[in-house]
Structure 1
Amino acid sequence: MPGKRGATLLEDLPEEIVDKILIRLPPKDVGRCRAVSKSWRSATSTPAFMLEHRRCQPLLPIVDGQGRPASLVVLRDAGAVKALHQQQLWPFLPGYKPLSQNRLRGACDGFLVVSQGYKFYICNPVIRKCALLPRPEREYNTIVGFYCHHSTEEYRVLWVSRPDHLSNSSLYVLTVGSDRPRQISVGMSTLSSPSAEQDLLSKLLYSSPPVHHHGSLHWGLFSYGNITGGGVNIIVFDTEAESFRWMHGSIHSQPYCNWKLFDMEETLAFWCSSSERSSMDVWVMQDYKAEIWAFKYRIDLSMVEASRQLYLTSFKKKKRRPLDSTVQYLDNMVVLNERELLIAFNMKNVLRWDIDGKFLGIVSIGKSQYCMSLTHHRLQESIVPIPGHDMMQEEYEEHPFSTGHA
């Protein structure tokens, strides 16, 4: 009912309307609402609410500022670019000062998997919680995939493991919340020999992080010799059946020096640079089942450099520090939102580019920040607790987890 003065108070609204309002709030604001009202705390603490709230959050690219001055940074929309230094993401534990020991290994549904030396953790940076992950009882372990097994609603980690540098590798799966990984096999008919399987596992070790799409993980590989006979191919891991298969990615004869898969507006896509690295072509999956790709557009080096020079000229009066070199080559790309791309060039700079080919500016993290790399990981902010009631979850205050909310 309205108050005495005729104004409608929030608590006077129907419960379903209040739920719709709360579910659209940023995670930090949900936390504030929990402190205001017991009913709001109860409403925002149910599993159904937390899952639906996470689904409403955008997928945000994570950039590695390489510690100068930032480490990991979550990139938001164009309007926030000027304040990127306020959006640092700290999923790492205190006590490890060398940046080389802190590695982001995977991201899925608001959870991050990070490593520090030989230890691996699952973290939720929004609620500032993390838990140690049990690893295979071998000396060398690398996480190559992190996913949700939807039929059981379990989060699982895919490892490539071996007892020493000279031994053969094996595959393991760890369910988050359990205390022991289980070994699985590759099980692909196209891998006719043990050496071919070992070759595949080696490629997974050194490939870019997989792209989540259609309930599967996708890695883009340059395949040679005893795997598929040569060319560019995609290895697919069905997260439900936990089995592998190949997908064709070789759709043209023009030589390319580099290429990577990425997610573009919930569509599997890949970019590829020319042998001279003077242009970047973007292809998208037109028909997933038929494995049909379609060319989307080309980003030309000369256009990027001309736009960059125009951008720098417009800032001369403001004494903005120019970049220390011209655009020599394009080397990476991710999607910022449905209209904007992030393009890395010269292995140390990142710019924003409209999908229609319009240059939008140079990205800077903090003051004089011109050294960063695109990680191809994305964070979907979540207030969902880390699975596994028997796991030791710790909250760290020395280096608080922060995603840059004001």
Structure 2
Amino acid sequence: MALQCYPKFLHRFKKLIGDCNNGDDDIRNRDTPMILRYFCCPDYLRISVIDWKSEKECKLSVLKTLKRAYFVGCCNGLALFTSDNPSRVHIVVNPLSCNTATIYGPFKGGDPCGFFFHPSEKEYRILNVRKIEKDKYEYHVYLFGTNKWRKIPDPYFKYEPTRHWSRRKKGQKTINGNPAIVNDALHWDIGAIMVFDMISEEFTLRSAPFKETKGRKYVTRHLSANENRLCYCHLGCEEPVMDVWIMEDYEKWSWVKKYVVDLDFDMNKYPMESDFRFTTLSEIMGYITIVGTHNNELMLFWKRRGMFSCRLGFNIVKKIPLRKSEMDWHMHEFNWLCGFEIYSAI
């Protein structure tokens, strides 16, 4: 849903959104998805937007004040980051116009876990989670229309969303932390699927499209929105293929395994970096990060190999050029602080 010009928040976001005729129309009108690239370490936040021809860096002095920042999510061309240095500061960034807005709090702390546009109130909101005790979490929302935080009607839930920046134990793999927004609700993969209804502000827990087989290892999982339907990607260790499940009927919560993506890419055409050494299939598969899906196009970042686009249903693979960066080595050493996300301009 594109940003609409409603008086109650237009004054706040006019500067943030920027001029739509700023020379980026060739980027905005592309059918192929853009990608937000972010480096959250070591000294300050760096952000850029990748299309299929170039990479545009967002150069803002305010980003240099964030000594440690974490990506929360994207919504309608805006990206939300949070920082604990300074404490409890959240920055909304338009990476193309290079404009920002700053939000503080809430007073009791916690972490933002969702960024969305409310379909009926016509305003942006941030969802925040704070741990109260074991299996008890408190939730607040920030309303951009009133510039205030408030508790949701039933503020407590026994689960919390997965977040991008959660440092994992050795051997654990990546699960996407950016909620998939479909049917006026936010969805997170926490093993099951955790759902937050934007309208009722109620949480529910729904089943994943399949049950993990006992003892079966996975490399990565990713829940996203694809053509306004939930899309669940699962990559195991047994063979170089990725299962892609699509939500067929939201009301019935009905899934179908619609695609199987062949990841046995030609090593001569798409080689690994010359200094890379691996011994097992699971090791090389473990270097894959699912960026997201857009118009039946699956975007992958293969560490030490590059960025790829896979056309679902056609087994067509294309490599997307990435600009060399001084921060590239952090993609190998600190991957919980650096990453990519599907990006759609306003």
TM-score if structure 1 supplies the norm length?
Answer: 0.61
- Structure 1 residues 283 and 261, CA gap change in structure 2 (3 angstroms): same
Q: State whether residues 145 and 159 of structure 1, in contact with CA within 8 Å, keep that contact through their aligned partners in structure 2.
A: yes
For 1:229-240, list aligned pairs within 5 A.
233-240=192-199
CA shift for structure 1 position 152 = 1.3
Moved beyond 6 Å, runs of 4+: 54-58
Query: Quick check: 1:172 aligned with 2:140?
Result: yes
Query: Quick check: 1:210 aligned with 2:179?
Result: yes
Q: In structure 1, give the amino acid aligned to 2:290.
A: M
CA shift for structure 1 position 155 = 1.1
Query: Quick check: 1:159 aligned with 2:135?
Result: no
Query: Quick check: 1:360 aligned with 2:318?
Result: yes
Q: State whether residues 292 and 342 of structure 2, in contact with CA within 8 Å, keep that contact through their aligned partners in structure 1.
A: no
From 57, 63, 70, the equivalent of 1:88 is 57
CA shift for structure 1 position 120 = 1.1
Q: In the alignment, what sits opposite 1:116?
A: 83
Q: State whether residues 248 and 254 of structure 2, in contact with CA within 8 Å, keep that contact through their aligned partners in structure 1.
A: yes
Hey, what's the Cα distance between the residues in 2 that align with 1:62 and 1:264? 17
3-state SS of paired residue (2:146): coil
CA shift for structure 1 position 56 = 9.6
Hey, what's the Cα distance between the residues in 2 that align with 1:56 and 1:103? 28
Q: In the alignment, what sits opposite 2:224?
A: 262
Hey, what's the Cα distance between the residues in 1 that align with 2:61 and 2:256? 40
- Structure 1 residues 168 and 287, CA gap change in structure 2 (3 angstroms): closer
CA shift for structure 1 position 212 = 0.9
Deviations 1:91-135 (Å, cap 9, x if unpaired)?
Answer: 67144374xx13222221222222232211223334433222131
Q: State whether residues 269 and 284 of structure 1, in contact with CA within 8 Å, keep that contact through their aligned partners in structure 2.
A: yes
Q: In structure 2, give the amino acid aligned to 1:143.
A: P
% identity of equivalent residues? 18
| Greater helix content | 1
3-state SS of paired residue (2:160): helix
From 130, 133, 137, the equivalent of 2:103 is 133
Q: State whether residues 39 and 46 of structure 2, in contact with CA within 8 Å, keep that contact through their aligned partners in structure 1.
A: yes
Gaps of 5+ in 1: 1-26, 34-53, 188-193, 223-232, 314-320, 383-406
Q: In the alignment, what sits opposite 1:381?
A: 345
Hey, what's the Cα distance between the residues in 1 that align with 2:20 and 2:161? 44
Q: State whether residues 40 and 69 of structure 2, in contact with CA within 8 Å, keep that contact through their aligned partners in structure 1.
A: no
3-state SS of paired residue (2:258): strand
Aligned residues: 296
Q: In the alignment, what sits opposite 2:285?
A: 329
Hey, what's the Cα distance between the residues in 1 that align with 2:203 and 2:134? 25
Q: State whether residues 129 and 139 of structure 2, in contact with CA within 8 Å, keep that contact through their aligned partners in structure 1.
A: yes
Hey, what's the Cα distance between the residues in 1 that align with 2:262 and 2:30? 35
Q: In structure 2, give the amino acid aligned to 1:71.
A: R
| Greater strand content | 2
Hey, what's the Cα distance between the residues in 2 that align with 1:379 and 1:362? 15
- Structure 1 residues 177 and 91, CA gap change in structure 2 (3 angstroms): farther
Q: State whether residues 162 and 177 of structure 2, in contact with CA within 8 Å, keep that contact through their aligned partners in structure 1.
A: no
For 1:204-353, list aligned pairs within 5 A.
208-222=177-191, 233-252=192-211, 254=213, 255-257=216-218, 258-276=220-238, 278-301=240-263, 303-304=264-265, 307-312=266-271, 322=274, 324-325=276-277, 328-330=284-286, 331-335=288-292, 337-338=294-295, 340-346=297-303, 349-353=306-310
Q: In the alignment, what sits opposite 1:149?
A: 118
Q: In structure 1, give the amino acid aligned to 2:36.
A: I
Q: In structure 2, give the amino acid aligned to 1:333.
A: I
Q: State whether residues 204 and 219 of structure 1, in contact with CA within 8 Å, keep that contact through their aligned partners in structure 2.
A: no
CA shift for structure 1 position 186 = 4.8
For the pair shown, the structure with the greater C-alpha radius of gyration is 1
Q: In structure 2, give the amino acid aligned to 1:173.
A: V
Q: Which has the higher contact order (CA 8 A, sep 6+)?
A: 1
TM-score if structure 2 supplies the norm length?
Answer: 0.70
Hey, what's the Cα distance between the residues in 1 that align with 2:276 and 2:231? 32
Hey, what's the Cα distance between the residues in 2 that align with 1:157 and 1:333? 24
CA shift for structure 1 position 239 = 0.7
Q: State whether residues 92 and 102 of structure 1, in contact with CA within 8 Å, keep that contact through their aligned partners in structure 2.
A: no
Q: State whether residues 293 and 342 of structure 2, in contact with CA within 8 Å, keep that contact through their aligned partners in structure 1.
A: no
Q: State whether residues 270 and 282 of structure 1, in contact with CA within 8 Å, keep that contact through their aligned partners in structure 2.
A: yes
The alignment yields a C-alpha RMSD, in angstroms, of: 3.8
Q: In structure 1, give the amino acid aligned to 2:152.
A: I
